[in-house]
Structure 1
């Protein structure tokens, strides 16, 4: 098995190996499979702690900097927006520089930026830093999905993707909860600095654990025409664009609910403090379990039905948050989180399976849509909060899920037709 460290000639060695021994899959149940799964778990953890650590801080930003709830949401929306576009560039760059190396550099750079944000006293400078952090993080998500699709045997891809998404769920939870608790005991500046240091350690662990690619050949230089052609082919695919839109809608719903739940819960009649609100994010544990479960179920029973179930579960969660009881609100967030991660886990794995060529480009288009949904719809949700309160926010989120569910029905029928043709 290849070593775990990139030496000066590692890319050339990798390319030689790939040319002579194509499709050397990492088999489920092997030590290499466990190392890959743990490494990508760390990548998902670091990426999502860095992206979403500011989400529980939106009410604090609104108070400290004297900005509106909609404007405070830019601390997250700018990160995901710049992340969305950088994913396209990062996916292309990984074709030249290699998957593993690019992910490691991205994780390190973003962690250092997060530490630097602890020393920024100006709101607009903080927004610039958050945008830059999103841009450098683009080297992780699309490349991680492409690495798994290229290296993991197809029969174990669903579970491996589920574990990666589980890492993103754990990171999202840890970032939100840890930052919230540290903010209450010290300050949000200390919280951001500590989190950045932890993620720097996660990046080092990732680099040590992840084996270099064995089924991927680098393409030196930036071949502009090649990348444009690859993105165009995926955009013309009869089903892949449906996956892209479903990802955008589901993520838009999820981020909208989480962005403005904090504003709802600090107000009457709940009057929760920063620490109590951050503890609500421990419901991400349900997302970790749901994503791993959905990946395994999709491998056994098909991706179409599992995705539809996930979206229906998420819709039920949104409806439950309309109740006045704090227990019903938290229960609704739990149900929404479980359903969302089921759908996202299935969609992530489905992109890699449906794209027969240039899997990195397909993953980058999915994540472009996914994070644009987070950025655009997450901020639009602020308008609904300002003008209609929680009922308007929930109605907007539910509409996004209903559209996603209708599109998933078309996707499911397409998949069944393809299976019939191949039978």
Structure 2
């Protein structure tokens, strides 16, 4: 979306340029979006290392305990479509503020509810509220930053989501061992609300955004147009498959580590989530990798590395499992950064709706494969789960050929 030819405040200077790298607006916007990504994903994924504790506390199965995450991501996935439509009509900053505020309140409620059904309901509300943020953030980056800066800005936003996912999982595991899972969830909610305050203060107003009138037929037409585009369809399906594999791995690796032959405490098992640090770097490295190899080959390298890392996860060695999960995480976030930037640059218009469609598939994969993985874990064990992930990654590797070489 272009701007009129004029000089203006901040980093906007001409029709061809948006926020440029290394300018004050770049750092303010990047830090604000980093905080938003942190808050979103720490709230969403802080329950993941708590699944064994929740299964014991409420006397439910491993697959049932995963519903605390799967229902959140399912609600997020379906909420993304109306959120993406509204994003073309109303202020994006206000919508992101409202989304994070409701999600923070639902997270605090999750920490105190006494019954399993009430916990699932509060997590459902949390997921639906968070649907107002990821597509808006991706659309803000796609429209407000100039084209050469776009991959770096998207990588920095995804780095924030990585940090949120890592700290949400790691801190909640440690806090649960010391204070119990309720205190863990409450403290994580408080930290996310602090990040929300930083976000509100720092994020510059959108300057390239031009609100549309609320035209339901046009909004539906935009969604259908994106779904008819072969390259976008392949990106959406890769998001479904890769995110599904990623969440299934981290849902059940805690059960693997806390059971024989490792028999680790939840704190020690939670340290495995420090492998997310690799994702922070890989999200930033995705842009130069794409510049060197091209979109298709960069994606293929990322998916092949994810696939190869599963062989290490199959070995009965804590060291091999740690390295395998680290490589899996590193490669996943590189692929996610590549796909996210490509969705923004491929969609000719209605970028928020394109981003929301991608993320809808992304979180549907999280819910679907995450829950199915629990069924395989219960009935076939760790190696059945790894076989499922291998098959889905092989399918995503085929889809990379739909991208421009």
Interval containing the TM-score (normalised by the shorter chain): over 0.9
Equivalences for residues 265-280 of structure 1 within 5 A: 265-280=257-272
What is the match of residue 309 of structure 2? 317
The answer to whether the aligner puts 1:27 opposite 2:32 as a matched pair is no
What is the match of residue 253 of structure 1? 245
Q: CA RMSD in A?
A: 1.3
Deviation for aligned residue 1:99: 1.3
What is the match of residue 74 of structure 1? 67
Deviation for aligned residue 1:21: 7.8
Comparing 33-42 with 225-234, greater Cα deviation is found at 33-42
d(CA) in 2 for partners of 1:377 and 1:72? 14
1:361 to 353, 358, 361: 353
What is the match of residue 196 of structure 2? 203
What is the match of residue 236 of structure 1? 228
What is the match of residue 324 of structure 2? 332
d(CA) in 1 for partners of 2:27 and 2:301? 28
What is the match of residue 10 of structure 2? none
Asked whether the equivalents of residues 104 and 207 of structure 1 are also in contact (C-alpha less than 8 Å), the reply is: yes
Q: Which runs of 5+ in 2 are unaligned?
A: 1-12
Deviation for aligned residue 1:113: 1.0
What is the match of residue 13 of structure 1? none
d(CA) in 2 for partners of 1:204 and 1:260? 33
- 1:202-251 CA-partner distances (Å, limit 9, x unpaired): 0111111111111111124x321111000000000121000000011000
The answer to whether the aligner puts 1:302 opposite 2:303 as a matched pair is no
What is the match of residue 263 of structure 1? 255
Q: Where do 4+ consecutive residues of structure 1 move more than 3 Å?
A: 20-24
Deviation for aligned residue 1:118: 1.1
1:49 to 42, 62, 66: 42
d(CA) in 2 for partners of 1:73 and 1:204? 30
1:192 to 165, 185, 195: 185
What is the match of residue 172 of structure 2? 179
Asked whether the equivalents of residues 23 and 215 of structure 1 are also in contact (C-alpha less than 8 Å), the reply is: no
Counterpart secondary structure, 1:85: helix
The answer to whether the aligner puts 1:65 opposite 2:58 as a matched pair is yes
Equivalences for residues 95-110 of structure 1 within 5 A: 95-110=88-103
Counterpart secondary structure, 2:88: helix
- 1:107-146 CA-partner distances (Å, limit 9, x unpaired): 1111111111111110011001101100000011011111
What is the match of residue 11 of structure 1? none
Deviation for aligned residue 1:298: 2.0
1:155 to 148, 157, 172: 148
Q: Which runs of 5+ in 1 are unaligned?
A: 1-19, 417-423
The answer to whether the aligner puts 1:136 opposite 2:129 as a matched pair is yes
What is the match of residue 210 of structure 2? 217
What is the match of residue 403 of structure 1? 395
What is the match of residue 419 of structure 1? none
- Normalised TM-score (structure 1): 0.91
d(CA) in 2 for partners of 1:319 and 1:97? 47
CA, structure 1 residues 299+164, in 2 after alignment: closer, same or farther (shift >3 Å)?
farther
d(CA) in 2 for partners of 1:48 and 1:295? 22
d(CA) in 2 for partners of 1:270 and 1:174? 23
Asked whether the equivalents of residues 113 and 133 of structure 1 are also in contact (C-alpha less than 8 Å), the reply is: yes
Comparing 298-307 with 121-130, greater Cα deviation is found at 298-307
